[in-house]
Amino acid sequence: IEDMCRRTKASAIPVVPDSKGTESNPFSLDALAVFIFRVLNRSNHPGNLDKSSPSAGYVLLMFYHLYDGKNRTEFEAELIDRFGSLVKMPLLKPNRAPLPESVRSTLEEGLDLYKLHTRWHGRLESSKGTYCKEWAKWETQLRETLLRNVEYLNSIQVPFESSVENVLKQLKAIAKGEYTAPPSSEKRSFGTIVYAAVDLPVSEILDQLHNLGEKDPRIEGFLKDKNLKSSLTKAHLTLAHKRSHGVTAVANYGPYVHQNVPIDMRAILFSDKTAAFEAEPGVVEGEKLTSKNEWPHVTLWTAQGVQARDANTLPNLLAEGKATRVEINPPITITGVLKFF
């Protein structure tokens, strides 16, 4: 979102649920309880995170842990540093009754189980690994516990209409220039999560393309009028996208965020509209990473008016005789960093 704002000169205003948080997380356990409760009461979610998901609780714990290590003050200061303002959406009533012990203990059991699971299995799905039976039991316990406390969970939430009205009031104040940000804090890495990808160094890609062009006249002929030094400013290998693969698939890469990932470029495919490396992620911490994309690739070039995602059509164009594939043997390896975008 920061990059989008820089490119388009637009402004972004982060809107986040208000919560006191804990010493190491910007969201408190009662906020987490409400988040899970809401998820388990919705259906037909585009990311498949709803009451029909058998691992909904596990996925919510994944996202809860994305903020682990930040207290509320650090979390809010981070957003204000990056975007200049912050809107807090009222979530919980201030004079609410304490979180029932059964709900608290169930959430704490889930958090402990999550730590055990990730320590031994990293991003492995909760339905697999040493603790799969414990996860199934906990997911059932979670649903039963929240069901027994429906009245409480409904009673502690600020009415939606009131929350919307409050948010609109804050947005109008920002639009009028009436918002005053607190003193700036140290800027830290934080991002809105839409997809997981390996961010790759463009300079190294350009060098490798130059070398490949010197070895193969087909590549040289394709590249000669493309001016990639100007057009190729960013490059990445998408691992999972929320819209295409669901939130669980994206969250599963959480344990490897900021880790170096070697990517083997096995071929280059190009047509008159787009070009891409055929790519394969390597091993991180002893585990082979895979992309959820049907055809893992790194987009290198698109013609004017062509979207980067259209590079996905290259294998089909190849089958139709409308694209060229040049194998890279042996493959070249370029190392990037796994990030959430």
Domain boundary residue among 175, 210, 241? 175
Residues of the chain whose pLDDT is less than 70?
A: 6, 9, 181-192
284 found inside a domain: yes
Asked if 232 contacts 204 with a C-beta cutoff of 8 angstroms, the reply is no
pLDDT of amino acid 283: 95
Residue 257 and residue 138 share a domain: no
How many distinct structural domains can be found in the chain?
2
Residue 225 and residue 120 share a domain: no
pLDDT of amino acid 186: 34
Residue 152 and residue 59 share a domain: yes
Residue 167 and residue 232 share a domain: no
Residue 217 and residue 164 share a domain: no
Q: Going by DSSP bridges, is the β-strand pair 260-270/195-200 parallel, antiparallel, or unpaired?
A: unpaired
**If you search the block for the tokens 């990445």, which residue do you land on?**
236
Residue 209 and residue 334 share a domain: yes
Residue 203 and residue 162 share a domain: no
154 found inside a domain: yes
Residue 153 and residue 41 share a domain: yes
Residue 292 and residue 231 share a domain: yes
Range of the domain at 229: 195-340
- Tell me the C-alpha distance between 84 and 63, whole Å: 24
Q: Locate 191 and state its tokens.
A: 């991002």
User: Dihedral through CA 39, CA 45, CA 50, CA 53, nearest 10?
Assistant: -150
2 found inside a domain: no
pTM metric for this prediction: 0.54
184 found inside a domain: no
- Tell me the C-alpha distance between 71 and 78, whole Å: 11
Q: Going by DSSP bridges, is the β-strand pair 235-241/297-302 parallel, antiparallel, or unpaired?
A: unpaired
Domain boundary residue among 144, 175, 206? 175
Query: What is the residue-wise DSSP string for 181-216?
Result: PPPP---------SEEEEEE-HHHHHHHHHHHHHH-
pLDDT of amino acid 41: 95
Residue 37 and residue 93 share a domain: yes
Asked if 198 contacts 46 with a C-beta cutoff of 8 angstroms, the reply is no
Q: Which of 104, 87, 96 is nearest to 36 (CA)?
A: 104
253 found inside a domain: yes
30 found inside a domain: yes
Residue 233 and residue 151 share a domain: no
Residue 274 and residue 169 share a domain: no
